[in-house]
Structure 1
Amino acid sequence: MNEIKCQCGNTIKEGSYPSSTSAYYLTESNEDRYADAIAMPVEECVESAKAGSLDNWFSTNKGNGYPEDLSKDTFAYDIIGNSQQVNMNRVYECENCGSLHFLKGDTLLSYSSTKGYNKLFSGDET
């Protein structure tokens, strides 16, 4: 769990999902790599299903570390989630002052807001 210390003194804690104070962002330079990381296994899965060997593909690709009773839909979400973690970075919005904090690797870049907290990641489109 990340904790971001804002310049206003507030601590932004990441922990609940979905978060109203953080989001993933995808740079244009990573779009193809992100899409390929999802599309390639999906294409292999579809081809295996057409060939009647989906169970074999699933068993081979889920690898070690997954429970035996793992469902195929849960595995599909893992493919997407893994691609997010590898190809996207996080951005956080301070609930106190609205500053944005971009986390890229171990580097934190912070930008002050002139309009306060805007609830950019709350899911409320209004």
Structure 2
Amino acid sequence: MSKLGCTCGKTISDNSDSLPYKASVLPDVNYNPFFEWLVDETQRYVTAALNGSVDEWLLQKGYGKDYVDLKLSHGNIMLDHIHTKYISLSRDMFECQTCGRVLVELSTNNHFTAYAPDSGSYNRVLAGDRPVDAEDL
């Protein structure tokens, strides 16, 4: 999705990272299963790495030979793998900077529903306190 229309007429753009009006939400029913999967999947990957069988692990997980041939670092492989799972379980949210409505993605991708704040204005509820670098986590 690159553009989304708000009820107020504003066009919300999703064309870069670290947008102060965008967030990702992991529904509570997916929270524990995701982290259980993360622990188990990380352990399986570590075992494959220690056994020298990362290529086989990737192929078993459905990655193609072209991906395997990239010979990515362990960190980048896990980033791709975890990110793909997270994206499949999470939903996007956008806050209109004009009227403050929060548009939440429904379980059907690229369909949104809107919730209007009592204030009727942009409240920066998705902006976070400050930008965070990976080193700060």
* TM-based fold match above 0.5: yes
Distance 2:70 2:93 in 1: 35
Q: CA deviation at 1:37?
A: 3.4
**Amino acid of the structure 2 residue aligned with 1:108:** F
Q: CA deviation at 1:44?
A: 0.5
**Amino acid of the structure 2 residue aligned with 1:90:** D
The Cα offsets for residues 32-62 of structure 1, whole Å up to 9 and x where unpaired, read as 332233222201123335xx31x31x21233
Q: CA deviation at 1:6?
A: 0.6
Q: Secondary structure at the match of 1:12?
A: strand
Q: How does 1:111-126 map to 2 (within 5 A)?
A: 111-115=115-119, 116-124=121-129
- The equivalent residue for 1:86 is 88
Q: CA deviation at 1:11?
A: 0.8
Are 2:100 and 2:116, in contact at CA under 8 Å, matched by a contact in 1?
A: yes
Q: CA RMSD in A?
A: 1.9
Distance 1:8 1:72 in 2: 45
Distance 2:70 2:46 in 1: 21
Size of the aligned set, in residue pairs, is 121
Q: Secondary structure at the match of 1:110?
A: strand
Q: Secondary structure at the match of 1:92?
A: strand
Distance 1:118 1:26 in 2: 21
Are 1:33 and 1:87, in contact at CA under 8 Å, matched by a contact in 2?
A: no
- Poorly superposed stretches of 4+, deviation over 3 Å: none
The equivalent position to 1:101 in structure 2, one of 88, 95, 103, is 103
The percentage of aligned residue pairs carrying the same residue is 21
Q: CA deviation at 1:12?
A: 0.7
- The equivalent residue for 2:133 is none
- The equivalent residue for 1:61 is 57
Distance 1:18 1:100 in 2: 17
